[in-house]
Structure 1
Amino acid sequence: MPAPKNRLRGVTDLLSPAAFDVHVSEVRTGVSLAYVREGVGGYPLLLVHGWPETKRIWWRNIAPLAAAGFEVIVPDLRGFGDSGIPDDGFHDLAAHARDLHALVHDVLGHPRCSTVGSDLGGGVIQDLGLRFDGFVERQVLFNSILPMLPVEYEAAGLSNEVSPQVRAAADYYVRQGRDADGLAAELDTPERRRAYVAQFYGSRLWGTPGGFRRAEVDFMTEPFASAEHLRAGFGNYESGVGALRVSEKPRWFEVSDVPTLVLYGPDDHVIYPDFMERCEVAFRDLVGPFVVPRAGHFLQWERADLLNRTVTAFLRDRL
């Protein structure tokens, strides 16, 4: 897809960290987040990345959504990209959610916003919407982790067993969660760290086939050359399996009332095969789920135009 010109910076190369101004704010004591903020004065829209991503995964969405009338806020989560690694050692959903609330509400001054997220970022915005009542007006999710609702899923005829597909793809999850130090020790050079992360954009079949050119993979993996930031990213998995203490209990065991639009990229080999059916249980006020052909785990990059139009339509009355 041709790279649209950033109307605010005059940059035509979207495979450049300089395509957008990056700001850094201390949002909570000892927590510094880097973020892009474009379209200031529009309706606040928070875009949250997952793993192994940074704010760069949204580079194809920022300028079009700002042009549509949104104030687009795109952070690096704690421990990712240009954000700091807090001394408190927390990498759990609640810590991320409180960071983002502090950024949008306290630093940028927005009492409400809408959110878009997938993977880890989808989990973070779900926690954010439940933890701060009324703060998230609407949310858009795709290829995201979903809450643990064993009773509700079983009542809907869904299995609580891990599917063979997910189990086969979960070796990375086990190592990053239970052997993070050992894995980090093996990835002992910038080249090895980037090659490890590059698998998730290619051979591990998370994305749609051919969705990322070599130069695009290089752009996405560059922030993970840092040993400290790659290791910090593993903390999100350690938190999930109980190997690392959490700041507080996640809002991860309840059905959400936040109005939610769900998309699904079917070329994803790591998200639950019954993702769409689970979403019908997890969200009371649901639009979709809608299948997006030629998309996988990285739908915001793979089908950027479609996502931009869909988000704009879903939030049109807010504009």
Structure 2
Amino acid sequence: MPGPLPPAPEPTAFGTIRSRLPSGRELAYVREGAGGFPLLLVHGWPETKRLWWKVIAPLAAAGFEVIAPDLRGFGESDADLDGFHDLAAHARDLHALVHDVLGHERCAVAGGDLGGGIIQDLGLRFDGFVLRQVLFNCVMPILTEAYAAAGLASEPHPVVRQAADYFVRQGRDADALAAELTTGEQRRRYVAQFYGSRLWGTPGGFTRADVDFMTEPFASAAHLRASFGNYESATDARPLSEKPHWFAVSDVPTLALYGPDDHVMYPDWPERCEVAFTDLTGPFVVRRAGHFLPWERPELFTGAVVSYLRDLLPRR
């Protein structure tokens, strides 16, 4: 039987740095292990950099310079809807942070959900910048014909379709949805569903205190509304900054991990990875994990990342 979940670090365990990008946008991020090989950790929705709280210290101890930002519109980064919230806009932010602000010519990356889509775009948009990527339970590129040739469904699985009603409202009815959530408590309660009753995560993966920790940044009306911008971009309700790198097979070396206790992701996600990535390690199914794998199985996630990227680490 699995043991108890490891305790999460204190909310104040890591200091937050704020840097202004050449574009003028300010991003907030955690940076631990400066001098190690740069490893960029990219959260999704409804997450912030707090998703990585359990793995930041062990990854830094292993020799990585861990960079865990809040995406634009999330957490402690700028919250506004004046700019774009699509994959390309996020990818350009992250390249500017890691390359222009922190001075790294290359990096490794990890991400799930929206973050996984962003880093796929990042690796294809900036040739040679991403040496390797670690993906889990993330959105996948649109490769309709290739998936069909592999015998994979063209339509979402019925369970996924049923669980994805939030996508429609956040994408096509975002203002009305935000207007219904009038208090910080209501906004946090809305986000808390995705850590509990919506069955994204593995059963028992989040205590009440964990959910409080994850939802606290979404008490802000501005940040919750801004976070919907990603869904508006995906449903054409908000313009794109530019065409995403989202319609081609990726040759970036990829480690794929899949938490099966996830009702919002395609059940055949592992098989889709075999189509979408030419240099693929895995996919490996991680039992007792769902949508939030670095939080639910932090030791396993850390071990997998270190093993996959070990040869990139500085020699000691």
The TM-score bracket by the shorter chain reads: over 0.9
SS state at 2:227 partner: helix
Q: Which residue of 1 is the match for residue 154 of structure 2?
A: 160
Q: Which residue of 1 is the match for residue 75 of structure 2?
A: 81
Q: Distance in 1 between matches of 2:239 and 2:295?
A: 33
Q: Which residue of 2 is the match for residue 23 of structure 1?
A: 17
Identify which range, 178-187 or 156-165, moves more after superposition: 156-165
Are 2:122 and 1:151 aligned? no
Q: Which residue of 2 is the match for residue 10 of structure 1?
A: none
Q: CA RMSD in A?
A: 0.9
Q: Distance in 2 between matches of 1:209 and 1:87?
A: 35
SS state at 1:59 partner: helix
* Equivalent pair of 1:177/1:243 in contact (CA under 8 Å): yes
Q: Which residue of 2 is the match for residue 182 of structure 1?
A: 176
Residue type at the aligned position of 1:14: P
Determine what percentage of the aligned residue pairs are the same residue: 72
* Equivalent pair of 2:81/2:226 in contact (CA under 8 Å): no
Identify which range, 23-32 or 54-63, moves more after superposition: 23-32
Deviating beyond 6 angstroms after TM superposition, the runs of 4 or more aligned structure 1 residues are none
Q: Which residue of 2 is the match for residue 209 of structure 1?
A: 203
Residue type at the aligned position of 1:46: L
Are 2:242 and 1:242 aligned? no
SS state at 1:211 partner: coil
Residue type at the aligned position of 2:121: D
Q: Which residue of 2 is the match for residue 14 of structure 1?
A: 9
Q: Which residue of 1 is the match for residue 217 of structure 2?
A: 223
Q: Distance in 1 between matches of 2:112 and 2:6?
A: 24
Identify which range, 81-90 or 199-208, moves more after superposition: 81-90
* Equivalent pair of 1:15/1:216 in contact (CA under 8 Å): no
Q: Distance in 1 between matches of 2:190 and 2:127?
A: 39
Following superposition, the deviation at residue 162 of structure 1 comes to: 1.9
Structure 1: runs of 5+ lacking an equivalent? 4-12
Following superposition, the deviation at residue 87 of structure 1 comes to: 5.9
Q: Distance in 2 between matches of 1:46 and 1:69?
A: 13
* Equivalent pair of 2:80/2:223 in contact (CA under 8 Å): no
Following superposition, the deviation at residue 221 of structure 1 comes to: 0.1
Q: Distance in 1 between matches of 2:43 and 2:294?
A: 10
How many residues matched? 309
The residue correspondences of 1:54-69 to structure 2 (distance < 5 A) are 54-69=48-63
Q: Which residue of 1 is the match for residue 303 of structure 2?
A: 309
* Equivalent pair of 2:54/2:294 in contact (CA under 8 Å): yes
Are 2:182 and 1:196 aligned? no
TM-score by length of 1: 0.95
Q: Distance in 1 between matches of 2:286 and 2:10?
A: 24
Q: Distance in 2 between matches of 1:62 and 1:20?
A: 9
* Equivalent pair of 2:81/2:229 in contact (CA under 8 Å): no
Cα pair distance change 1:62/1:101, threshold 3 Å: same
TM-score by length of 2: 0.96
* Equivalent pair of 2:256/2:280 in contact (CA under 8 Å): yes
Are 2:240 and 1:256 aligned? no
Structure 2: runs of 5+ lacking an equivalent? none
